[in-house]
Structure 1
Amino acid sequence: MILRIDHVGVVTGDLAAAGTGLGLMDMKNTYADDVNAYGVATSFWQCPGDTTSIELVAPVRPDAAVHGHLARLGPGLNHVAFEVDDIDADLLALQDRGAVLVDEKPCQGGRPGLRVAFAHLGPATGLLVELVDYGNRA
């Protein structure tokens, strides 16, 4: 079951410059790490008092998952992430409802303990969604 919007993913070729832009809006960098499964570096930014983040995503190797996006569209919106309570069941439910899975099984995400999986909702929205599951997060 979807619990909330967790973050919005923005692809960039330059994490530092993109972070400077978010800083202009008084957003604060709350976490940064590389996600080897997707070949990207990430940094998460939040407004004070809000748990929803903007995730900046940049390629760190030639086979990075976001190279195609950058080549076709340039920097910008890449995905919307939804926190779920059971990523395995919710991923299967999306597939049963007609979503096209990018990940057939969840992978390690960009924050400790986070499991993620991506799916396309179809051409009517063009939306790439990410399911995120923190497990037994307090």
Structure 2
Amino acid sequence: MILRIDHVGVVTADLGAAAPMLGLMDMKCTYSDDVDTYGVVTSFWQCPGDTTSIELVAPVREDAAVRGHLRRLGPGLNHVAFEVDDIDADLAALRDRGAVLVDEEPRRGGRPGLRVAFAHLGPSTGLLVELVDYGNRA
């Protein structure tokens, strides 16, 4: 079951150049990490008092998952992430309902304890969604 919007992912070729732009809006970096499974580095930014984040995502390898996006579209919106309570069941439900899975199985995400999986909702929306599951997060 979808619990909430967790974050919005923004792809950039240069994390160091993009990060100060979020600071212009008084957002603060709350977490950064290398996510080797996707070949990217990420940083999460939040407004004071809000739990929804903007995630900056930049490639660190030639085979990074976001390189194609940057080549085709340049920097910008990449995905909307939804926190779910059972990523395995929700991923299967998306598949059964016709979504095109990018990840057949959940992978390690860009925050501690996070499991993630991506899916395309189809050409009518062009939307890439990420399911995020923190497990037993308090």
Stretches of structure 2 lacking an aligned partner (at least 5 in a row): none
Aligned partners of 1:69 and 1:90: how far apart in 2?
25
> Are residue 38 (structure 1) and residue 29 (structure 2) matched?
no
Aligned with 2:16: secondary structure?
Answer: helix
Aligned partners of 2:87 and 2:99: how far apart in 1?
14
Aligned with 2:68: secondary structure?
Answer: helix
Where does residue 54 of structure 1 map in the other structure? 54
**Number of corresponding residues:** 138
Aligned with 2:61: secondary structure?
Answer: coil
Aligned with 2:72: secondary structure?
Answer: helix
Stretches of structure 1 lacking an aligned partner (at least 5 in a row): none
Aligned partners of 1:115 and 1:24: how far apart in 2?
30
Where does residue 106 of structure 1 map in the other structure? 106
Aligned partners of 2:96 and 2:8: how far apart in 1?
24
Q: Displacement, 1:17?
A: 1.2
Aligned partners of 1:64 and 1:16: how far apart in 2?
17
Query: Pairwise CA RMSD of aligned residues?
Result: 0.3
Where does residue 127 of structure 1 map in the other structure? 127
Instruction: Letter of the 1:106 partner, please give it.
Output: P
Give a deviation string over 1:34-82, Cα, whole Å, max 9, x none: 0000000000000000000000000000000000000000000000000
Instruction: Letter of the 2:137 partner, please give it.
Output: R
Q: TM-score, normalised by structure 1?
A: 1.00
Q: Percent identity?
A: 86
